[in-house]
Amino acid sequence: MVNFDQVPNRKHTYSYKWDQSAKLFGSEEILPLWVADMDFESPPAVKEAIQRRAAQGIYGYTFKPESYTEAIVNWFKRRHNWQIEPGWITDSPSVVTSLSIAIDLFSEPGSKVILQSPVYYPFYDVIRNNGRQIVKNPLLERSGTYEMDYDHLESLMMDGARLLLLCNPHNPGGRVWSREELMKLGELCLTYGVIVISDEIHCDLVLPGHRYTPFASLSPEIAEITLTCLAPTKTFNLPGLQISYIVASNRRMKQQFEKRIKTLSLHMTGFFAPDAVQAAYNHGEGWLDELLQYVQGNVDYAIQYLQEHLPEVRPFRPQGTYLLWLDCRGLGLDVEELKRLMYQEAKVAFNEGSTFGSEGTGFLRINLACPRQIVEEALKRFCEAARKHIS
């Protein structure tokens, strides 16, 4: 059994999350539940593998052995019933890097790129910074969750958009898109010749009772128009190791992507990557199963606490990820007032929703991948501060 209740001390470790509160939010007293890494140690097998690797003492140029690729292939076959061929995989420093390169390769300057808002904020950056137009297909709010607006999506495709960024599972809304929803999306893309760049980094973080469907697994035809961006970093809390890869069965797309990675000299292997990935995928499954149960407990606790202490705030119950999306519009606060409530009054840092697009205005995103007592303290601070704004 893993003790996920153990509270780590991450201060003074160059932690992006824990060591920048004064700089980013104006106070050292901030309790940070924002950026999406976990306050849990990675699986023991990963820690041991990295320690053995570090003990070698010579940190030279490194390559990935066949066993590295086999670990990825076996994981997706075993965990998700998706048969990936080794030749479909190309490494990349990060999922966001892959998104940016793919936009540059598979769309024209000035062309329209579809995203489904509200969505992970780097989606906006990689479209704008590549000189493309952001075209929003806003998700529909239905009974505390999100659904795709297929009619509007089709109108964008009819208007000439030929590239779509998909977030599967969805960040920040926590939707694990069903096979039927994805198939309907795929059929539209096939009809209009739309390429799909699918960010599936949260694929392993699916909560009990739900199932992840890889978009590219729907059919060979859909796989041919899809480039899937994946990483073990969210699953096993390894973001600092900068490990990622794409999966593309379309040989032309894969070769183009691989060539650009090499052109930019981003193809070299990090010293710790081969052993960390193999340890995670080959020996981390039991740890992950326990993690998902613990995160589900945090979700249940947070939703119940908010219902009891701040019913004006409406949480979207996530089906996947370890992120909780809160509709705070019932508090009647604008963006700056929400920030002031968090940072100055409650001394907590959640993600402010408008960064995910204008459709996220009035929302907050909470990272629940932390010991329960941190969740308890953060919600207590937030609810007590928010009650003062309610007449």
Same domain, 198 and 222: yes
Q: What percent of the chain has pLDDT over 70?
A: 100
Same domain, 151 and 127: yes
In a domain, 272, yes or no: yes
**Residue 99, domain CATH:** 3.40.640.10
Could you report the per-residue pLDDT of 360-382, keeping only the tens digit for each? 999 999 999 999 999 999 999 99
Is residue 170 a contact partner of residue 115, using CB atoms and an 8 Å limit? no
In a domain, 236, yes or no: yes
Range of the domain at 366: 21-43+285-387
Number of structural domains, the chain? 2
Is residue 153 a contact partner of residue 137, using CB atoms and an 8 Å limit? yes
Could you report the per-residue pLDDT of 114-167, keeping only the tens digit for each? 999 999 999 999 999 999 999 999 999 998 999 999 999 999 999 999 999 999
Report the distance separating Cα 197 and Cα 177, nearest Å: 15
Bridge-based pairing state of the strands 112-115 and 163-167:
parallel
Same domain, 38 and 182: no
Could you report the per-residue pLDDT of 77-91, keeping only the tens digit for each? 999 999 999 999 999
Report the distance separating Cα 49 and Cα 28, nearest Å: 34
Same domain, 266 and 355: no
Could you report the per-residue pLDDT of 228-268, keeping only the tens digit for each? 999 999 999 999 999 999 999 999 999 999 999 999 999 99
Interval 200-226 mean pLDDT: 98
Spatial CA neighbour of 219 closest among 82, 53, 40: 82
* Side chain identity at residue 236, one-letter code: F
Where helices occur in 81-167 by DSSP H, the ranges are 95-106, 122-129, 150-158
Task: Tell me the three state secondary structure of residue 166.
Answer: strand
Residue 1 banded pLDDT, cuts 50, 70, 90: confident
Same domain, 232 and 343: no
Choosing from 248, 266, 283, the residue where a domain stops is: 283
Q: Is 2 exposed, middle or buried (0-12, 13-18, 19+ CB in 10 A)?
A: middle
Averaged confidence pLDDT in the chain: 97
Residue 109 has pLDDT above 70, yes or no: yes
Same domain, 343 and 235: no
In a domain, 12, yes or no: no
Same domain, 39 and 102: no
Interval 343-357 mean pLDDT: 98
Same domain, 167 and 250: yes
Could you report the per-residue pLDDT of 23-74, keeping only the tens digit for each? 999 999 999 999 999 999 999 999 999 999 999 999 999 999 999 999 999 9
Choosing from 231, 255, 283, the residue where a domain stops is: 283
Interval 299-319 mean pLDDT: 98
In a domain, 5, yes or no: no
Task: Tell me the three state secondary structure of residue 312.
Answer: coil
Interval 173-184 mean pLDDT: 98
Q: What is the pLDDT of residue 391?
A: 64
Same domain, 188 and 91: yes
Q: How many CA atoms lie within 13 A of 297 on its CB side?
A: 13
Angle between helices 179-192 and 150-158 (to 10 degrees): 20
Same domain, 187 and 262: yes
Report the distance separating Cα 101 and Cα 260, nearest Å: 7
Same domain, 270 and 327: no
Q: What is the pLDDT of residue 189?
A: 98
Bridge-based pairing state of the strands 314-316 and 112-115:
unpaired
Could you tell me the strand order of the sheet in which 323-327 lies? Answer: 314-316, 323-327, 363-367, 351-352
Same domain, 89 and 136: yes
In eight-state DSSP terms, residue 313 is: S
Return the bridge partners of 165, or none.
Answer: 197
Is residue 230 a contact partner of residue 203, using CB atoms and an 8 Å limit? yes
In a domain, 217, yes or no: yes
Task: Tell me the three state secondary structure of residue 65.
Answer: coil
Spatial CA neighbour of 275 closest among 13, 56, 93, 92: 56
